[in-house]
Structure 1
Amino acid sequence: MIENVLSPAELAKLRDIAARAQFVDGKISAMGSTVKNNVRVGDQNAHRQAAQIMIEALYRNEDFRVFAFPKSISQPLLTRYDSGMHYGIHVDSAFMPAGERSLRSDLSCTVFISDDSDYGGGELRISLGSYDVKVKGKAGSAIIYPSTTIHEVESVTSGSRLIGLVFIESRVANTEQRELLSELFEIGAIQAEKMDIATYTRLQRVQENLLRAWGDPD
């Protein structure tokens, strides 16, 4: 979980955009789905405004950049779950539209716009091997998880769950390699002041050469 991705001002703006926007059936992006029951913003002007706010917030967040190594991200989509709505177990599509090209969905990201106290139920449940993780983030936070996982949004029992939904193509497609690199960069950030310059330079050499070996610059 990444805290404070969105500022209070950005949260207020996104909520205002959502309050004035038209929403349409979420199945428009998953025709024939029997498990999807939500609504998404249908107003293109509102979509562009909201997407720009979330894109800027994500890219300025160092934790997001270091964890995801983003090569390309989809336009964040305002999505709402009202009482009784849910999204049953599913796996995200391998390729997503991103302007004039498609991106490979390595990572999925939920940006929480409603506060967790604004609605009942609505947990994001992610299956990770033999155990499940349930997530219900505070307003302004974001959760990033592999798009390859089976996951669902459990039924909202009261209120409304407003989120931004983002798909990320990473420069490091392999999940294990990406996680190892992320951990190395995190260790470097935490320990940098305690290292002498020679040791820190050696760590940087490992980081950057692994990124060269595993990463996609294009």
Structure 2
Amino acid sequence: MMLHIPAVLTKPQVQEFRRHLAQAEWIDGRATAGPQGAQVKRNRQLAELSPLAQELGGVITQALANHPLFFAAVLPLRILPPYFNSYASGEQYGMHIDSAIRTRPGTANAMRADVSSTLFLSEPEEYDGGELIVSDAYGTHEVKLAAGDVIVYPSSSVHRVAPVTRGERVSSFLWSQSMVRDDAKRGMLFALDQNIQKLRAAHGDNEITVELAGHYHNLLRMWAEV
């Protein structure tokens, strides 16, 4: 399941992020890629343990944790601290699949990567190219969102970032381990949850919404790993 979540960061927050990132020291993005990814990855990143990455990443993690749509779609058990990258002058990231197991920077603590998220920090008109291109069973999807918006998609998807031919594409990306590892089951739970919310908004709580909510939580009880 792919989901666009708008305005996770406000425009003033994005401007503040960009002000700090414009003065940051970037390193070769291949430093955090696996052997396969390093062959096709050409971009720049903030160092994993840089104070700036940790400070800005904390803001993003908190914003996502407090966002009801992100929680409903991802059902996060663990969220890896966000990374930050930049693409310019033809830089790109070729076709790859994210590693299944990620290690929290500076620790030996590992987690499973079920859901990938990209938060755009450049407005679409600031750069040409740079689309996130995700291929799944339903086809190929090109994503280029407003600054502050997030796209979430299964980490098992084959995806790439198209070459940036003008300007600079700045973004943050992160992985989450979900309480429900199977994407299809997460998708069903999300659809059920959203329809329950619509029924409640239209008709208030009643016998039907209570029963549907019961089915939702019983399915979550059946499928969740915590």
TM-score computed with the length of structure 1 as normaliser: 0.96
Alignment of 1:114-133 (within 5 A): 114-129=122-137, 131-133=139-141
Change in Cα spacing, 1:122 to 1:94, as seen in structure 2 (3 Å) is same
The DSSP-based 3-state class of the residue aligned with 1:117 is helix
Task: Tell me if the contact between 1:125 and 1:135 (Cα under 8 Å) persists in the aligned partners.
Answer: yes
Q: What's the offset of the Cα at 1:191?
A: 1.3
Q: What's the offset of the Cα at 1:9?
A: 2.3
The DSSP-based 3-state class of the residue aligned with 2:123 is coil
- What residue ranges of structure 2 are gaps of 5+ in the alignment? none
For 2:9 and 2:28, how far apart are their aligned partners in 1? 26
Aligned to 1:25: 28
For 1:152 and 1:58, how far apart are their aligned partners in 2? 23
Q: Given residue 29 of structure 2, which amino acid in structure 1 is its aligned partner?
A: G
Q: What's the offset of the Cα at 1:16?
A: 1.6
Aligned to 2:10: 7
Aligned to 1:64: 70
Match of 2:39 among 20, 34, 38: 34
Aligned to 1:181: 189
Task: Tell me if the contact between 2:34 and 2:99 (Cα under 8 Å) persists in the aligned partners.
Answer: no
Aligned to 2:223: 214
The DSSP-based 3-state class of the residue aligned with 1:162 is strand
Aligned to 1:143: 151
Q: What's the offset of the Cα at 1:148?
A: 0.5
Q: Given residue 98 of structure 1, which amino acid in structure 2 is its aligned partner?
A: R
Quote the sequence identity (%).
30
Match of 1:16 among 9, 15, 19: 19
Matched, 1:153 2:158: no
Which has the larger displacement, 75-84 or 188-197? 188-197
Task: Give RMSD over aligned pairs.
Answer: 1.3
Aligned to 1:80: 86
Q: Given residue 213 of structure 2, which amino acid in structure 1 is its aligned partner?
A: Q
Q: Given residue 11 of structure 2, which amino acid in structure 1 is its aligned partner?
A: P
Task: Tell me if the contact between 2:88 and 2:166 (Cα under 8 Å) persists in the aligned partners.
Answer: yes
Task: Tell me if the contact between 1:6 and 1:57 (Cα under 8 Å) persists in the aligned partners.
Answer: yes
Change in Cα spacing, 1:8 to 1:88, as seen in structure 2 (3 Å) is same
